[in-house]
Structure 1
Amino acid sequence: MEQDAFDLQANSDKIHCMSRPAIARINIGHLQHNYRLLSNLAGHASIMAIVKANAYGHGQNLVAPALLEAGCRSFGVTDATEGAELRSIPSFNQDHVEITLLSGIFDEEDAKLCVQHHLTPAATEPFQLSLLAKSGHRGKVWLKFDSGMNRLGAETPSELYAMAGETGIDIRGFMSHLACADEPDHPLNRIQAERFITICDQLSPNTPKSLLNSAGIIAMPQYAFDVVRPGIALYGAEPVPDRPVGLKPVMSLNGEVMQVRQIHTGASVSYGATFTADKTMDIAVVSMGYADGIPRSLSNIGDVHIRGQKYQMIGRICMDYTMVDVTGSGVRAGDSVEFWGEHISANQVAAEIDTISYTLFTGVGERVRRIAV
């Protein structure tokens, strides 16, 4: 029986190693470059690196240790489960590495996780502070205020601040979030910043403050305060497109040409016959589809990069495959195909289908292997 179990494990490992070519290559050098660049832009403010949602789809187990190596000591995730997962990485099992829960806690179990894994939640409601006090939380909390985005944040900051004092929980700092930082001239940016300053000054002017996200670091550096919270910029997508700062793409999403076939005038391609050839064409079938994170809305309009050239996707993108027009190119089976990365930016791809690079990165499927390069 033990030998059977060993054989099953060996076969499982072999199968995993030989899995289909659907790979997200994560460039650690580019990631660390982006971190250093953002640190310089932030001036005296420290960096809280946002690695929620599996590091924006890049792989938390690859990204977080690389940022730690680059000097980062503060990380932001969504909730206590993500925080516990991050703390379980060996190099993160240290008190000097701060892990903040940007969505705070939801119940008693979350409060217990904060105690067990030394997590620092953001609080927006008094009941969260009560749960933490009941659990014996001896760490700190961020108090998160709404300054005009009308999403998540305390509507009555004074009440939340008073509750923190009553429970005896130490305050790590005050934070809020900007709604329009990627539009530098939007009037709401200054309104929110001034509201936030007013709230903080009324409660405790010397308590550390955090307001800026990736776009804010670039568009509003005068409001860097004590801690900034870059997310998308760490991964190389310029958060303010008309103000590029030299970020480098971290993820290169790659498939492989499985087959090149010739079709003739009048032949259709893929489901629904949405593409019909008007001449004899060479069609490459690529080893990735919408189950891997290639948006179906790129059908018939998106581009890929193969052998130094761009080629258009044709026909509907399938669950496992994407078809590409490679007529007269010499492209053949086994060639690597980039969907976004070094040659086609995620921002460019996102613009084609009226979305943002965040949705592309976080949409990369679990069956896509993340590999550090």
Structure 2
Amino acid sequence: MSRPAIAQINLDHLRHNYRLLNQRVGQSEIMAVVKANAYGHDQSLVGPILLEEGCRSFGVTDATEGSELRAIIGKHNSTEITLLSGVFDAEDAGLCLDCRLTPAITELNQIELLTKAGFNGDIWLKFDSGMNRLGAADPATLFSLVSDAGLHVHGFMSHLACADEPEHPMNLAQAKNFFETCNLISPDTPKSLLNSAGLISLQDYAFDVVRPGIALYGAEPVPDQPFGLKPVMSLTGEVMQIREVQAGASVSYGATFISEKTMKVAVVSMGYADGIPRPLSNQGAVYIRGEKHPIIGRVCMDYTMVDISNSEVQPGDSVEFWGEHISTNEVAAEIGTISYTLFTGVGERVRRQAV
């Protein structure tokens, strides 16, 4: 048996979240964002379920992820797989041809790579609407060059900088900029702007395609305006050993925790190599036997120590770091990060197990 470090993936919760999003977006199509191995949830588990639910559009980062997903969901269907970062080299362009991938284009050299590979399919034209990250600076010129190269612009896309702050003025400014630019270039070309949080802050700008990611996996994109999502991942370890620690004794590296009294400490079978953030040292909690128990001492590479004084916790008990009882947003808030980093930080040696 492998070491007890498991990410339980609740496929019923995934179905629930997708259906909830589908109701919210109305006539817009969902492009399910499954990049970074479905945000750490395992695209081999997530992809087929979304396909069963009727999803026919997926977003990944690059051609490698796209080819892996195509192998999972099949070549002989109408499913579109969009490469949100486009293509980087000739190999990527070849994969677009072989695996029927749809790259998002931002630069002239990407057009050249695709045409040299013999690709003449659909592309997205991705341009900047105010975030100043990835996107074409001159979308009108790029649109003409794409057309001249014999490629078909499937749609325009851009990305919001502050969607998780619904009242931020940049949201409306970007939406208006995006809409006006699209209409100047090609009014009838489909449009895609909103991510998960955008469905809360700018629902009127859902346009033709929306691109939820984090919401699929059950983390509320705007915690104080919940969708009603259910957590898909429960990250669990196991109590390996229980020790009695005397008053005045230290726990874990650096002796950063000193016991003020005699206490019981559980050694849990997961650490930062599994994706338990080291900043949770001496803060945060885990869930065991119906109760939360504080993390004490420094999180180690393979182990985390927990105060289980005055409890009935036993060796072999399951330990939840986040999931059904502790949300990723709650954990993230403890250490000043976001749920995305928690999901994508779950290590490869953690088994993904469908439940």
TM-score (norm 1): 0.94
Query: 2:286 is paired with a residue of what secondary structure?
Result: strand
Q: Deviations over 1:318-351 (max 9, x none)?
A: 0000000000201010000000000000000000
Q: Deviations over 1:169-223 (max 9, x none)?
A: 0111000000000111101001100110111001110100000000001221100
For 1:77, give the aligned amino acid.
Answer: V
**1:14-33 mapped onto 2 (5 Å cutoff):** 18-33=1-16
Within the candidate set 92, 98, 110, 1:116 is matched to 98
> Is the contact between residue 41 and residue 218 of structure 1 (CA under 8 Å) also seen in structure 2?
no
Q: Which residue of 2 aligns with 1:307?
A: 289
For 1:283, give the aligned amino acid.
Answer: V
Matched, 1:289 2:271: yes
Within the candidate set 142, 163, 167, 1:160 is matched to 142
Matched, 1:322 2:289: no
> Is the contact between residue 302 and residue 313 of structure 1 (CA under 8 Å) also seen in structure 2?
yes
Q: Which residue of 2 aligns with 1:270?
A: 252
Q: Which residue of 1 aligns with 2:162?
A: 180
Q: Which residue of 2 aligns with 1:149?
A: 131
Query: 2:58 is paired with a residue of what secondary structure?
Result: strand
Query: 2:16 is paired with a residue of what secondary structure?
Result: helix
Within the candidate set 39, 49, 54, 1:56 is matched to 39
Q: Deviations over 1:239-260 (max 9, x none)?
A: 0111101000000000000011
Query: Unpaired runs of 5+ in structure 1?
Result: 1-17
Q: Deviations over 1:120-152 (max 9, x none)?
A: 000001111121112111210000010000000
> Is the contact between residue 61 and residue 83 of structure 2 (CA under 8 Å) also seen in structure 1?
yes
Query: 1:313 is paired with a residue of what secondary structure?
Result: strand
Within the candidate set 66, 69, 75, 1:86 is matched to 69
Matched, 1:208 2:190: yes
Q: Distance in 2 between matches of 1:203 and 1:56?
A: 34
Figure out how many residues of one structure are paired with residues of the other and give that number. Answer: 355
For 2:351, give the aligned amino acid.
Answer: R
Query: 1:88 is paired with a residue of what secondary structure?
Result: helix
Q: Distance in 1 between matches of 2:283 and 2:250?
A: 16
For 1:125, give the aligned amino acid.
Answer: E
Q: Distance in 1 between matches of 2:17 and 2:237?
A: 25
Matched, 1:234 2:200: no
Q: Deviations over 1:11-68 (max 9, x none)?
A: xxxxxxx110000000000001000101111111000000000000000100111111
Within the candidate set 60, 69, 79, 1:77 is matched to 60
Q: Distance in 2 between matches of 1:189 and 1:127?
A: 30
Q: Distance in 1 between matches of 2:234 and 2:179?
A: 40
> Is the contact between residue 84 and residue 104 of structure 2 (CA under 8 Å) also seen in structure 1?
yes
For 1:104, give the aligned amino acid.
Answer: G
Within the candidate set 86, 90, 97, 1:104 is matched to 86
Q: Distance in 2 between matches of 1:79 and 1:244?
A: 31
Within the candidate set 324, 327, 332, 1:350 is matched to 332
Query: 1:172 is paired with a residue of what secondary structure?
Result: strand
Q: Distance in 1 between matches of 2:224 and 2:267?
A: 35
For 1:334, give the aligned amino acid.
Answer: G
> Is the contact between residue 43 and residue 69 of structure 2 (CA under 8 Å) also seen in structure 1?
yes
Q: Distance in 2 between matches of 1:237 and 1:83?
A: 24
Query: 2:296 is paired with a residue of what secondary structure?
Result: coil
Q: Which residue of 1 aligns with 2:152?
A: 170
Q: Which residue of 2 aligns with 1:134?
A: 116
Q: How much has 1:92 moved relative to structure 2?
A: 2.5
Query: 2:112 is paired with a residue of what secondary structure?
Result: helix
Q: Deviations over 1:262-301 (max 9, x none)?
A: 1111110000000011111000000000000000000000
Matched, 1:248 2:230: yes
Q: Distance in 2 between matches of 1:47 and 1:225?
A: 11
Within the candidate set 289, 307, 319, 1:337 is matched to 319
> Is the contact between residue 171 and residue 201 of structure 2 (CA under 8 Å) also seen in structure 1?
no
> Is the contact between residue 41 and residue 233 of structure 2 (CA under 8 Å) also seen in structure 1?
yes
Q: Distance in 1 between matches of 2:90 and 2:195?
A: 29
Matched, 1:192 2:167: no
